[in-house]
């Protein structure tokens, strides 16, 4: 028996960039002391009030099948948040609730691409992006955003890649780079999407974590609401990664077809999880800052630790919960540095190569440890890098 190419080629024969993560987890399970700064899973737990709402809902009986597109009240709360944050009127019929942001990404690409269609995405990228496109039998095509340009994608590069493509996936605030796309960048993306008749899939799961600049939602730009699918999630804003609840905001006709797709795949999201998300959104002015504020402090801490290091050049994150470091002065690429760092210090970070060719020679640090432990790890990373540089004779 032979499995389908669709499933066996999701990662194109590789690990999808997760080798260091798997190695670190294996070391930890074997009893080695490992500090994990790999994935964006909060050290901040889901707020007890949200868990209380989840528990109360489950005990009240919300454990059966739920409405496939999501409950009316939750969709209304998501729509209200989107309206408030973007200035674009958003209605219940513009929203479908999904089993997390990753399920939303898959559904959005299933809606945008036929088998063999090209799906564009910006490199550096979240590690699942190309596999998500392959999973719907699309052809992934990366567009480099260079570190020397602050990881802002260039209009000329997007335009050159767009001929014959059907969709463009963007992510701002960006994982892994922390770049927040400027208004100029977003307007250029909108113009190109319109000119080439592209579906624009905008991953905005970090919209609550903006440290510099202004988050511009693609849907807020002139003429873009009808061709844009916005991905959102409770994971990053409310520390609900394990609850697996997100959404897509799009035109009502798109939502109608996505609901049909969900009927044949996830069949909805548990009602008690939806009720917990509803509670969180209705109390978001109190709860969202509790999750976001520590990451701003940690971002500033990392900038202080790495300031003026001859061995590591940080790309100052404008948003999200990560720091990207250029490690090329040490003489190693991102994979070599991350592997040696894990072996020598027990600190696990993600190599930039996990996120595409444009991030080669970098590492990504997830700021997902309490400040004291994080500062110790950051200083160890700096010392490790500067020792490597010293062995090279200080050559940068």
> pLDDT tens, 155-189?
999 999 999 999 999 999 999 999 999 999 999 99
Per-residue confidence band for 393, with pLDDT thresholds at 50, 70 and 90 = confident
Predicted TM-score of the model (pTM)? 0.95
- Quick one: average pLDDT of 85-114? 97
Q: Which CATH number fits domain 63-285: 3.40.640.10, 3.40.50.11540, 3.40.50.300, 3.40.50.2000?
A: 3.40.640.10
| Distance separating alpha carbons of residues 231 and 288, to the nearest angstrom | 18
Strand partners, 169: 121, 201
Cα 343 to Cα 338: distance, rounded to the nearest angstrom = 9
Question: Which H or E run includes 248?
Answer: strand 246-249
Number of continuous H segments (helices) and E segments (strands) in the chain: 14, 12
Residue 268 has pLDDT above 70, yes or no: yes
Question: Which residue ranges does the chain devote to CATH 3.90.1150.10?
Answer: 5-45+288-389
What the block records as the tokens of 349 is 């970070």
Q: List the one residue out of 368, 395, 364, 396 whose CA is nearest residue 381.
A: 364
Q: What is the mean pLDDT of residues 96-122?
A: 98
- The CA distance from 365 to 323, in Å, is 5
- Out of 3.30.380.10, 3.40.640.10, 3.90.1150.10, 3.40.47.10, select the CATH number for domain 5-45+288-389: 3.90.1150.10
pLDDT category, 17, cuts 50, 70, 90? low
Range(s) within the chain of domains with CATH label 3.40.640.10: 63-285
- Encode pLDDT of 269-303 as tens digits: 999 999 999 999 999 999 999 999 999 999 999 99
């Amino acid at each position: 028996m032979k499995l389908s190419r669709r499933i066996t080629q999701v990662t194109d024969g590789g690990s999808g960039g997760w080798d260091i993560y798997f190695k670190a987890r294996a070391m930890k399970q074997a009893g080695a002391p490992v500090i994990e700064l790999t994935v964006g899973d909060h050290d901040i737990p889901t707020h007890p009030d949200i868990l209380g709402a989840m528990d109360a809902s489950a005990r009240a009986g919300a454990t059966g099948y739920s409405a496939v597109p999501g409950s009316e009240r939750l969709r209304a709360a998501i729509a209200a948040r989107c309206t408030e944050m973007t200035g674009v009127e958003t209605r219940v019929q513009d929203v479908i609730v999904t089993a997390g942001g990753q399920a939303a990404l898959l559904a959005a690409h299933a809606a945008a691409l036929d088998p063999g269609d090209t799906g564009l995405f910006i490199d550096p990228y979240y590690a699942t992006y190309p596999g998500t496109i392959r999973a719907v039998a699309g052809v992934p095509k990366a567009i480099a955003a260079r570190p020397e340009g602050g990881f802002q994608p260039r209009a000329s590069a997007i335009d050159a890649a767009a001929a014959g493509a059907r969709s463009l996936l963007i992510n701002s605030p960006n994982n892994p780079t922390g770049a927040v796309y400027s208004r100029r960048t977003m307007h250029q993306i909108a113009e190109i999407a319109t000119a080439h008749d592209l579906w624009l899939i905008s991953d905005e799961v970090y919209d609550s974590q903006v440290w510099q600049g202004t988050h511009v939602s693609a849907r807020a730009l002139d003429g873009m609401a009808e061709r844009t699918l916005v991905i959102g999630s409770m994971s990053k804003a409310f520390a609900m990664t394990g609850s697996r609840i997100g959404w897509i905001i799009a035109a009502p006709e798109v939502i109608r077809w996505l609901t049909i797709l969900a009927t044949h795949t996830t069949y909805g999201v548990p009602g008690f999880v939806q009720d917990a998300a509803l509670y969180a959104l209705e109390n978001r002015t109190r709860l969202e800052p509790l999750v976001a504020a520590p990451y701003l402090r940690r971002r500033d801490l990392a900038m202080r630790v790495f300031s003026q290091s001859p061995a590591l050049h940080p790309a100052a994150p404008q948003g999200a919960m990560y720091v990207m470091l250029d490690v090329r002065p040490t003489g190693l690429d991102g994979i070599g540095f991350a592997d040696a760092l894990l072996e020598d210090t027990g600190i696990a970070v993600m190599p930039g190569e996990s996120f595409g060719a444009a991030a080669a020679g970098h590492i990504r640090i997830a700021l997902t440890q309490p400040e004291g432990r994080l500062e110790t790890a950051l200083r160890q990373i700096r010392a490790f890098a500067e020792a490597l540089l010293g062995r090279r004779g200080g050559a940068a």
